[in-house]
Amino acid sequence: MSTSELPVTSNFIRTIIAEDLASGKRSQVITRFPPEPNGYLHIGHAKSFSLNFGLAEDFGGCCHLRFDDTNPVKEEDEYVEAIKADVRWLGFDWGEHLHFASDYFDQLYLWAVQLIKTGKAYVDSQTAEQMRKNRGTLTEPGADSPFRDRSIEENLELFQKMKNGDFPGGTHILRAKIDMSSPNMNLRDPAMYRILHAHHHRTGDKWCIYPMYDFAHGQGDSIEGVTYSICTLEFEDHRPLYDWFIEKLEIFAPQQVEFARLNLSYTVMSKRKLLQLVNDKHVSGWDDPRMPTLVGMRRRGYPAAAIRTFCERIGVGRGASWIDLSVLEECVREQLNQSALRRLAVLDPLKVTITNYPTDKIEELDAANHPQQPELGSRKLPFSHELYIDRDDFMEEPPKKFFRLAPGREVRLRNAYIIKCEEVIRDESGYVVELRCSADLDTLGKNPADGRKIKGIIHWVSAVQAEEVEVRLYDRLFNQENPDKTENYLNALNPESFQSSTALIEPELMNAELGTTFQFERIGYFTVDSKDSLPGTPIFNRTVTLRDTWAKLK
């Protein structure tokens, strides 16, 4: 499904834009997605850039991809390339509009000098601790810096020396001169530039000073002619600051519109916490299939179309709300139910011997690749007198509504015969190790001649041809709906979020391509791991179960 095929859902931002265009307030729509290249994108970012790119597409405009690379200490080209790959994976294209905040470092510096010359910025030489103390609180005003009234000439000289690298880091910063008593903390003489003797991934060692995000952000929008600067609600209190810079510099003013960020249950999306999960080895990396990162979801087997559908389905609003993870998982199921080919696999094998089937016979049975899509064709399943079924499909003393295999009962083997359990074999400890069954050899592809009803259908693999593979059973990383509300979110980690086991699969799966997803019938959706699989040795990640197994736990 392309982005143009997704249903267009009304939201308050789309209404604002439509009214602006109709009234002539705006003549075009230019949006932007401005990630910082200091980590990997997660599902919350997907909501943001799906919104920005989607609005631009809906109104015949364009969306810029701009990396806010203003902190060289934490930024890397690795993250730049990963972010570009994620945006492309979801089906969006920035075309010629790829930008970096570092593209504007020279202009930003000139604007900083301009603000110094007009008495709107000054170099502060307080220590970090002094600045924190003098900033005030939410209920008490801040105190002016003792360096706030430096002359323009002194400020210009000091700022030039900061740029030249004459001072060590932390000795001076450039601050906007606004109002230390403002009830909005962002207007209490915010920092504009700090000294950083750090190598930048694009500008190298050219700069010893770097603009703060709040100084570069709005001006970057202005330079690019962005008409709608769409941000999450935490930037609402920053808007007066962005407007102040725009006004004092007398440059083009984008319109900032804020919306509520995505809060997803059983998940954390703080970049700091995600980094801690990686660094402390709670997960295998940013691409761990349990992570909410897009690279992790891609490796797990989540289709891009499912994520786009999810972003559209949850909508855009101003009020903070929680979305249950099951909504995302259901989008994944809906998409995979349409696209995933069906295959047979047994995760907990129990041997079945068909006593009336020839021991030396191998039969190839026809099996549809997708029961609802006959155009996808069929494949051959090997059938022999020794099979494996899943242990959960047998009970010696079944409850009333158990329609699977039990002593004296019949079930149909998927795409094969009806069998009846005649004998249960145990080992010395009494553990069931084998079932001996008879097959109604006249029921291949048809119902019993005598009209008896068979309610149960179970899956199986041939013992002779089945291949053994590793399967990784991924589940929710946290077992609490809101890990951030716990005393320590790490205490909410789900100890059963990852389990590795061995499964038996039909032989055709051994040559499955990396990243391909299948429905293991009656079990779930599984994807060939794109990182650890080797040619001829696939590893399968459980993408999602067939049903929401968490709903009954609530």
Residues known to be catalytic = 36, 261, 271
User: What is the C-alpha separation between 408 and 424, in angstroms, rounded?
Assistant: 10
Element (H, E) at 88: helix 77-89
Amino acid, single-letter form, for residue 165: G
Q: What radius of gyration, in Å, describes the C-alpha atoms of the chain?
A: 31
Sign of the dihedral defined by the CA atoms of residues 428, 432, 434, 436, in that order: positive
Retrieve residue 222's tokens: 């202005």
What are the distances in angstroms from CA 497 to CA 21, 43, 211, 491?
49, 19, 41, 13
DSSP state of 512: P
> Beta 457-458 vs 98-100: how paired, if at all?
unpaired
CB neighbourhood size of 351 (10 A)? 15
Those residues with Cβ within 8 angstroms of residue 419's Cβ, 6 or more apart along the chain or in another chain: 352, 354, 405, 410, 411, 412, 413, 437, 438, 439, 440
Among 451, 456, 462, which Cα is nearest to 411's? 456
Residues making up the chain, counted from first to last: 554
Yes or no: say if 325 and 44 are a contact pair by the CB < 8 Å rule: no
User: What is the C-alpha separation between 509 and 520, in angstroms, rounded?
Assistant: 11
Sole residue written with tokens 């709107």? 120
Start-to-end CA span in the chain (Å):
33
Task: Give the angle 398-402-404 at the CA atoms, nearest 5°.
Answer: 95
Among 498, 449, 454, which Cα is nearest to 478's? 498
CB neighbourhood size of 190 (10 A)? 19
Among 440, 433, 422, which Cα is nearest to 463's? 433
CB neighbourhood size of 66 (10 A)? 25
Element (H, E) at 254: none
Yes or no: say if 538 and 343 are a contact pair by the CB < 8 Å rule: no
CB neighbourhood size of 287 (10 A)? 20
Beta strand segments in 359-492, E: 363-368, 378-383, 386-390, 410-413, 418-426, 432-440, 457-458, 461-462, 467-474
The H-assigned helical ranges of 105-168 are 105-117, 128-134, 152-164
User: What is the C-alpha separation between 136 and 47, in angstroms, rounded?
Assistant: 35
